[in-house]
């Protein structure tokens, strides 16, 4: 081979390599769709500030991946599976979205995960609670990142039963999340020698809880448990307070309570409530530093969902960078193989069923005397190690689990 031919061959090879590298990230763009309730019941726990957390992560990453730009589109799913499905189909078919993130209402996440699997795109669920998302509804195309109903039951319900709450009446949001939480709580109560003497399912959302609280109060149960979230939970707690539920000797158990809910209620009304959380802003120097930055941009302290959106976005972008690809299976595999150590989790791991396993925390709302400012709301009672908190793979119904 002559020198000229060698040079030409080398040039062609280099061009192919460069072209291949550029083609690995489709359209030379990593495009993320942020889908959440931006205006309704779940607005405060994720909503517009979840989008802000994502934008913070992208900015901290540098705004590009391997020279490819990062773009974000967002939409309000209005807590509707139909609205969410049509939005995600449009994003995938017309707008080249690679990742769908946010995802709050469990019915939305389950519907969206089916579309992602059909089109081999990736989703990261940060706001939904139903443990079925990585159990019977698992797919190879989504990851469930922040929390689910299984550790909520293991944490809060377990603690309340051990403190003497043996008979339970559960008020349940009538959709996938509420059903899953009701089932997981019933399991924990019965395993610990308690009994669920009644359940009542309410429409989602519900502005007036009067009739539901009166029926729960009339049951005579030791514990009135709220298997709902967001504005539904705060409305139910306020109604229970008006009707004197706790004054009559019953315990009120909020099974999913967010920092923004407690802030809205105030420590006077919420003091002493035990809850399970996946993260708290005032846990250590790293969480406080990030939370200070978040508050500077939003005016509020972050919930565990906001923190999880930030963390999962960084983990996704780092996986794209490491693999030089935005292919869903390539990126998911890389994320599964990479331990998560950041301001959100220590030694977190993504299992084959898509569940991100990390420590959870049993917390208690401070008294007015204990609280030093409007966001100084929790004291951490104990840490629940991740492998104890989440459903063991031996009990999984997910077909992706290798032992199945």
Same domain, 40 and 68: yes
Is there a contact between 227 and 185 (Cβ–Cβ < 8 Å)?
yes
Same domain, 245 and 369: yes
Within a domain: 80: yes
Within a domain: 187: yes
Predicted pLDDT at 175 = 93
Domain C-terminal end among 342, 358, 374: 358
Tokens, residue 250: 């019953």
Within a domain: 219: yes
Within a domain: 13: no
* Location of structure tokens 């979230």: 229
Within a domain: 394: no
Within a domain: 4: no
- What pLDDT tens digit does each residue of the chain (404 aa) get? 443 333 333 433 333 333 333 348 999 999 999 999 999 999 999 999 999 999 999 999 999 999 999 999 999 999 999 999 999 999 999 999 999 999 999 999 999 999 999 999 999 999 999 999 999 999 999 999 999 999 999 999 999 998 899 999 999 999 999 999 999 999 999 999 999 999 999 999 999 999 999 999 999 999 999 999 999 999 999 999 999 998 889 999 999 999 999 999 999 989 888 899 999 999 999 999 999 999 999 999 999 999 999 999 999 999 999 999 999 999 999 999 999 999 999 999 999 999 999 999 999 999 999 999 999 999 999 999 999 999 999 999 999 998 55
Length of the chain: 404
Within a domain: 44: yes
Domain C-terminal end among 358, 375, 398: 358
Same domain, 47 and 185: no
Its domain, for residue 107, covers: 25-147+283-358
Same domain, 217 and 260: yes
Same domain, 68 and 95: yes
Measured between alpha carbons, how far is residue 383 from residues 153, 158, 346, 388 in Å?
A: 14, 14, 12, 10
Number of domains in the chain: 2
Measured between alpha carbons, how far is residue 130 from residues 27, 90, 125, 311, 351 in Å?
A: 34, 26, 11, 20, 17
Same domain, 233 and 106: no
Same domain, 289 and 337: yes
Same domain, 198 and 106: no
Same domain, 202 and 349: no
Within a domain: 401: no
Beta bridge partners of 200: 171
Give me the CATH number covering residue 171. Answer: 3.40.50.2300
Predicted pLDDT at 246 = 86
Same domain, 187 and 69: no
Predicted pLDDT at 24 = 86
Same domain, 353 and 237: no
Same domain, 258 and 384: yes
């Amino acid at each position: 081979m002559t020198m000229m031919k060698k040079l030409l061959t080398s040039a062609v090879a280099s061009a192919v390599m460069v072209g291949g590298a550029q083609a690995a990230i489709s359209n030379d763009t990593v495009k993320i769709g942020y889908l959440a309730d931006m205006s309704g019941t779940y607005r405060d726990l994720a909503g517009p500030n979840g989008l802000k957390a994502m934008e913070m992560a992208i900015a901290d990453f540098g705004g590009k991946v391997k020279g490819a730009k990062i773009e974000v589109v967002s939409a309000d799913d209005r807590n509707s599976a139909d609205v969410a499905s049509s939005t995600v189909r449009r994003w995938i078919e017309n707008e080249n979205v690679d990742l769908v993130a946010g995802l709050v209402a469990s019915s939305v996440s389950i519907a969206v995960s089916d579309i992602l699997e059909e089109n081999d795109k990736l989703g990261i669920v940060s706001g939904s609670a139903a443990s079925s998302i990585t159990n019977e509804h698992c797919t190879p195309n989504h990851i469930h990142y922040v929390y689910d109903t299984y550790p909520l039951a293991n944490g809060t319900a377990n603690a309340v039963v051990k403190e003497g709450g043996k008979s339970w009446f559960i008020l349940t949001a009538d959709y996938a999340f509420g059903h899953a939480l009701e089932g997981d709580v019933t399991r924990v109560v019965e395993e610990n020698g308690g009994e669920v003497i009644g359940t009542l399912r309410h429409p989602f959302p519900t502005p007036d809880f009067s009739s539901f609280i009166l029926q729960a109060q009339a049951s005579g149960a030791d514990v009135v448990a709220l298997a709902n979230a967001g504005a539904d939970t705060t409305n139910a707690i306020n109604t229970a307070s008006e009707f004197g539920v706790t004054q009559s000797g019953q315990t009120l158990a909020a099974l999913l309570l967010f920092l923004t809910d407690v802030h809205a209620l105030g420590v006077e009304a919420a003091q002493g409530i035990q809850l399970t959380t996946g993260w708290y802003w005032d846990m250590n120097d790293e969480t406080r530093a990030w939370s200070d930055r978040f508050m500077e941009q939003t005016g509020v302290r972050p919930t565990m969902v906001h923190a999880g959106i930030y963390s999962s976005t960084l983990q996704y972008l780092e996986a794209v960078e490491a693999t030089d690809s935005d292919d869903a299976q390539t990126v998911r595999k890389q994320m599964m193989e990479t331990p998560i150590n950041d301001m959100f989790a220590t030694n977190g791991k993504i299992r084959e069923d898509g569940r991100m396993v990390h420590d959870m925390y049993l917390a208690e709302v401070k008294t007015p005397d204990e609280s030093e400012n409007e966001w100084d709301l929790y004291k951490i009672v104990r840490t629940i190690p991740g492998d104890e908190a989440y459903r063991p793979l031996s009990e999984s119904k997910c077909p992706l689990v290798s032992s199945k």
